[in-house]
Structure 1
Amino acid sequence: MLTEPIHFIGIGGSGMSAIARILLDRGIQVSGSDAKDSIVIASLRALGAKVEIGHNANNISLAKTVVISTAIKDSNPELKAALQSGLPVLSRAQSLSELMKGYRSVAVAGTHGKTTTTSMLAVAIQECGVDPSFAIGGTPNDSNSNSHHGTGDVFIAEADESDSSFLVYNPFGAIITNVEIDHVDHFSSKEQLHQTFLDFIKSTKEFLVICVDDDGGNEIASTVKELQLNVITYGESENAQMRISHVSTSATGSFFRVTWQGVVLGEVALNIPGKHNVLNATAALSAGIALGLNPNQLILGLSKFQGVRRRFELKGNVKNIRVFDDYAHHPTEVSATIATARDVIEQGKIIVIFQPHRYSRTLAFAEGFAQSLSTADQVILLDIYGAGEESIPGASSSVIAKQIRDLGTKVDFEPSIVAAIELAVAGAKPNDLIITMGAGDVTSLGKEILTRLDEAAKSDEA
């Protein structure tokens, strides 16, 4: 139970700030701390949260409940003080589970596409006249906020499988977009991962929406038939109940038809490109129908969806050289993003600045990263963003660079961010795309790349 005042250690993170914002909207006293200030923290302060920069045991002096992010170490002085004081200490997932009680909750899980699918479902449901609550790991462009306390009876939450914490949600309904090994620091085998997703499904009360185009999803879907759940399968597969067909993708969006058990529901036109987003939209549509909402209104809502920040996000355009930013940090995601870029680009080349995320992931998927990145025309590899992990022998961007080079794609391993930007700018011509890619601080490069492109353009004109 969440007893106020509630203190968040690491309040600036996407998941923690989302929960804090909902609590503030409910009129609950919230305090928090974080290692550094940010726009997110400024917005929480504006809503009434008391946030300190830096961690100190005194920060929890008024708290009755403490919530911690997964990034918080046992040595954190606020966590140590909370435990010594006997205060209830909840994980982010446990606190979100408390918020979801009393709602028809939908937990959106899967290795890839969770953030976009959760955002799509929220927008589609809003079009139906329902005001859902939601907590999302990214920021939808439609709302400019990663969370909302709604007046309706539906609560939509992105459900992170990385540490199995999604097992505490016990949702009314669930979406599984795909199932693939990613977090090798937590899952030692495919079997362990699949069992965790099966446990998640068993904790779900009413319905499951799952993609059968995905090998992992299809394998799991075949094992849950005996459960007392309304299972809706989706995809292009002939076995899918919600079947996708007539797919076309372009620079400006995607178009497809959806058929429910042999009956055409309608044509869906998305404002965002990428075939993977066709699957994400179909998952959202299926969940909306499972909630008893009007398919036509859901489809209309999906047609208005404006995307999510850091998901193939256009940062700017200088002399017809476009700069995008994307969160892709797994080989499957990298492939999908570059494929989307191919839809968008009419001519010219794709230049990717990629920052591997975590040593464990880089070591496990080096070959996969090389294969997916080699579909670009030029690759610039930064050093690994450790995200708190210790370095691992053999985990290196240079290993990926060598494999890409062996595949015949132009590649540079450039540890210097300044030099990496210069390489991208020097190589870019009109009609080219530059994509900054990864889950680390590579996202900050877009502004500087645009500045350097602008300077180069003015120099050429002089």
Structure 2
Amino acid sequence: MKRVHVMGIEGVGMSALARLLLAEGVAVTGCDLAPGKRTKALGVPAYAGHDPAHLAEEDTLIVPTPIPLDHPEVAAARAKGLRVLRRMELLAHLLSGRPSLGVTGTHGKTTTTGMLASILLQARLDPWVLLGGELALLPGNARFGTGPRLAEVDESDPLFQGVQVFVAVATNLEADHVAPPGHRAPNYHGSLEELKAAMRGFLEKSQVVVVPAFDPTLLALSHGLPRRLFGEGGELWAERVELGPWGSRFLLLHEGRVLGEATLGVPGAHNVRNALAAALAALAFGVGAEAILEGLAAFPGVGRRFQRVGEVNGAWVVDDYAHHPTEVRATLEAARRLGRRVRVLFQPHRLLRTQALWAEFVEALALAQEVVVLPVYAAGEKGKVSPEGLSQRIAEGLQRRGVAARFLEGEEALAYARATATPKDLWLTLGAGDVTELAQRLAHEG
């Protein structure tokens, strides 16, 4: 592999792979429907859109999960004799045969991977890191190093079961990225059972499995494997947990012995659990307690994970990537600790997910004092229900529960949030789509 062309190169995962390939001396070109800041930062030739004409002297084509293998650019690559690799197949290749750690799970995998990166850096192990988010410590979404390889392994891609690492971490598992009956897509599992089978396939390839002691699904899937458990009932747990508005502290105990006091600069009980997962994975990899505690304390948080971006009329503006009901609930629980009126700009992500989980979104969002629901960010999907119709369904469900809620388009929502913001408010933007741009504009425009 000497020259590669990366489709969807602006995506956080694809751009990270491109960055790591460049560091290994591979020549990279790319294309994306909307090349942006990540592509520009790579400094490689990149085309807007997808076209077979993009292929020139490359020997390998890297394809992101959502793109079907009968796509014209993929077909042209095969006709020219290029090697075609899905992004997860490339990741498996980059991790193969090397000291490595992989983190997967429905929620928390990016933050847990980021915490592990911070720990490995504090241990001076010169890690190679691939992350599904932006982390100031790297900087960006990837780091090339000569030490152990650490990767976020996205369970939404059915091919993740082919990735082999020395230490495999699973934070949790829920029915996300599971296609509704009658639908099939390359970035969805056909059923919950297929997702579970893929998780088992990933875990059983590792030498050490790190899973929560309190998760019956993962306990069942890891049964019979060389596993280590974190949380209550496991070998590593937290005591005397103090949850603050912007962080937490707790005693870290391993097999009844106090390793020390851990401090986190990211809020929420869910991040304590993420820290336990990262700490036990590091212990399993041979990292000492001092580096673990220093790494957790130094972790600044991943971009778009409860990230404070500024103020508007005295109101705090916080941006978060939460796009599943469990994540939304955890984020809102953390937000309520700030002592302000929690007001939300929520952009559902993907039609199939929203169609399947809209009622669960209503339940989770009911923790807020007010919710403005934006049209679903479809991410290229098409469905029987429109993006607007699904969002209106969520808003109406909240209204029936007595929550102040409304459906607004993007510019209307921005104008409303700006006009009504007060120093007693926290405006929280939630979603995995382009709602983050509204957060930046709300805090920094006008």
TM-score band by shorter chain is: over 0.9
TM superposition shift of 1:441 = 1.0
How far apart in 1 are the matches of 2:237 and 2:14? 36
Which residue does 1:18 correspond to in 2? Answer: 16
How far apart in 1 are the matches of 2:380 and 2:23? 32
How far apart in 2 are the matches of 1:147 and 1:70? 19
Which residue does 2:116 correspond to in 1? Answer: 121
8 Å CA contact retained: 2:96, 2:164: no
Partner deviation per Cα, 1:250-303 (whole Å, 9 max, x = no partner): 123111122112222221001111111111111111111111111111111110
8 Å CA contact retained: 2:310, 2:444: no
* Structure 1 residue runs of 4 or more that deviate by more than 4 Å after TM superposition: none
Tell me whether 1:426 sits opposite 2:394 in the alignment. no
| Aligned residue type for 2:5 | H
How far apart in 2 are the matches of 1:74 and 1:189? 21
Which residue does 1:197 correspond to in 2? Answer: 199
Tell me whether 1:412 sits opposite 2:413 in the alignment. no
Partner deviation per Cα, 1:341-372 (whole Å, 9 max, x = no partner): 112x22x3011000111111111111110010
Tell me whether 1:28 sits opposite 2:23 in the alignment. no
How far apart in 2 are the matches of 1:70 and 1:189? 17
How far apart in 1 are the matches of 2:174 and 2:305? 19
| Residues 424 and 122 (structure 1), Cα distance of their counterparts in 2 relative to 1, 3 Å cut | same
Which residue does 1:212 correspond to in 2? Answer: 213
8 Å CA contact retained: 1:179, 1:216: yes
How far apart in 2 are the matches of 1:400 and 1:213? 31
Tell me whether 1:326 sits opposite 2:326 in the alignment. no
TM-score by length of 2: 0.94
How far apart in 2 are the matches of 1:282 and 1:396? 37
Which residue does 1:53 correspond to in 2? Answer: 48
| Residues 170 and 116 (structure 1), Cα distance of their counterparts in 2 relative to 1, 3 Å cut | same
| Aligned residue type for 2:218 | G
How far apart in 2 are the matches of 1:372 and 1:219? 27
Partner deviation per Cα, 1:151-188 (whole Å, 9 max, x = no partner): 21x10111111132211211111000001111122335
| Aligned residue type for 2:315 | I
Secondary structure in structure 2 of the residue aligned to 1:142:
coil
TM superposition shift of 1:15 = 0.9
1:385-396 paired onto structure 2 within 5 Å: 385-393=377-385, 396=390
Tell me whether 1:232 sits opposite 2:228 in the alignment. yes
8 Å CA contact retained: 2:35, 2:46: no
Secondary structure in structure 2 of the residue aligned to 1:368:
helix
Tell me whether 1:370 sits opposite 2:362 in the alignment. yes
8 Å CA contact retained: 2:4, 2:29: yes
How far apart in 1 are the matches of 2:313 and 2:244? 22
8 Å CA contact retained: 1:22, 1:148: yes
Tell me whether 1:380 sits opposite 2:372 in the alignment. yes
8 Å CA contact retained: 2:7, 2:30: yes
8 Å CA contact retained: 2:248, 2:267: yes
Q: Kindly report the root-mean-square deviation, in angstroms, between the aligned alpha carbons of the 2 structures.
A: 1.6
| Aligned residue type for 1:207 | V
| Aligned residue type for 2:381 | E
Pairing partner for 1:247 from 241, 262, 266: 241
TM superposition shift of 1:17 = 0.8
TM superposition shift of 1:219 = 3.7
Tell me whether 1:187 sits opposite 2:185 in the alignment. no
| Aligned residue type for 2:212 | C
| Aligned residue type for 1:234 | F
TM superposition shift of 1:215 = 4.0
| Aligned residue type for 1:196 | A
8 Å CA contact retained: 1:317, 1:323: yes
8 Å CA contact retained: 2:178, 2:192: no
How far apart in 1 are the matches of 2:279 and 2:354? 34
How far apart in 1 are the matches of 2:18 and 2:296? 27
Tell me whether 1:441 sits opposite 2:439 in the alignment. no
Tell me whether 1:90 sits opposite 2:89 in the alignment. no
Which residue does 1:353 correspond to in 2? Answer: 345
Secondary structure in structure 2 of the residue aligned to 1:365:
helix
1:116-155 paired onto structure 2 within 5 Å: 116-152=111-147, 154-155=148-149
Tell me whether 1:71 sits opposite 2:71 in the alignment. no
TM superposition shift of 1:451 = 4.2
Tell me whether 1:42 sits opposite 2:40 in the alignment. yes
TM superposition shift of 1:447 = 2.3
Deviating more after overlay: 35-44 vs 174-183: 35-44
Structure 1: gaps (5+ residues): 456-462
Secondary structure in structure 2 of the residue aligned to 1:7:
strand
How far apart in 2 are the matches of 1:427 and 1:351? 10
How many residue pairs align between the two structures?
Answer: 436
Deviating more after overlay: 333-342 vs 54-63: 54-63
How far apart in 1 are the matches of 2:218 and 2:248? 23
Which residue does 1:301 correspond to in 2? Answer: 295
Pairing partner for 1:403 from 378, 397, 405: 397
Which residue does 1:459 correspond to in 2? Answer: none
| Residues 151 and 74 (structure 1), Cα distance of their counterparts in 2 relative to 1, 3 Å cut | closer
How far apart in 2 are the matches of 1:129 and 1:213? 32
| Aligned residue type for 1:439 | A
How far apart in 1 are the matches of 2:364 and 2:202? 30
